[in-house]
Amino acid sequence: MFSNPIASYQQIDTESDIRGADPHRLIVLLFDGAESALHRAQACFENNDNVGKSEAILKAVDIILMGLSSSLNVEEGGDLALNLKALYDYMVSRLIHANIHKDAAAVREVQGLLGEISGAWREMGQNLKQTGGQSPEQPA
């Protein structure tokens, strides 16, 4: 029934995590997915696996465009949301370049950018937990 029981379990575990996640956690899961895909792309570069590299890069592009970028509220998010959207668009263009030109350095560049945004997002989540989900200036 299952060709790979471990992969099936991981899929079920991920789906359960997504269904029970708050909006902040969902974004963390998107970052995790994109970072994992980019890590896989780097491994494929090292192994000269062009098909695997392309699949991993395209997965990261999909997560960045359809997940991270599309979740931005540019109307209410102001300059921050617009700047993040521009940065996500830049990352996608670098990944397309990396895929076409077999440029591992471009993937590393995107990994660095994504890692910085992911780290800031995770830190913000920790700060929200410490303040009980309220911004620091709101009374507890």
CATH assignment of the domain containing 106: 1.20.120.340
On whether residue 35 sits in a domain, the answer given is: yes
Asked if the structure places residue 103 within a domain, the reply is yes
In a domain, 130, yes or no: no
pLDDT by residue (tens digit) across 68-123? Answer: 999 999 899 999 999 999 999 999 999 999 999 999 999 999 999 999 999 999 99
Domain that holds residue 78: 5-116
In a domain, 9, yes or no: yes
Q: What b/e readout covers 66-89, taking b as 16+ CB neighbours within 10 angstroms?
A: ebbbeebeeeeeeeebeebbebbe
For residue range 12-66, list pLDDT tens digits in order: 454 555 565 678 889 999 999 999 999 999 999 999 999 999 999 999 999 999 9
| Distance in angstroms (rounded) separating the CA atoms of residues 18 and 12 | 10
Residue 139 falls within a domain, yes or no? no
Q: Considering the domain boundaries, does residue 89 fall inside one?
A: yes
Q: Total structural domains in the chain?
A: 1
Tell me if 24 is assigned to some domain: yes
- What is the rounded CA–CA span in Å between residue 95 and residue 57? 7
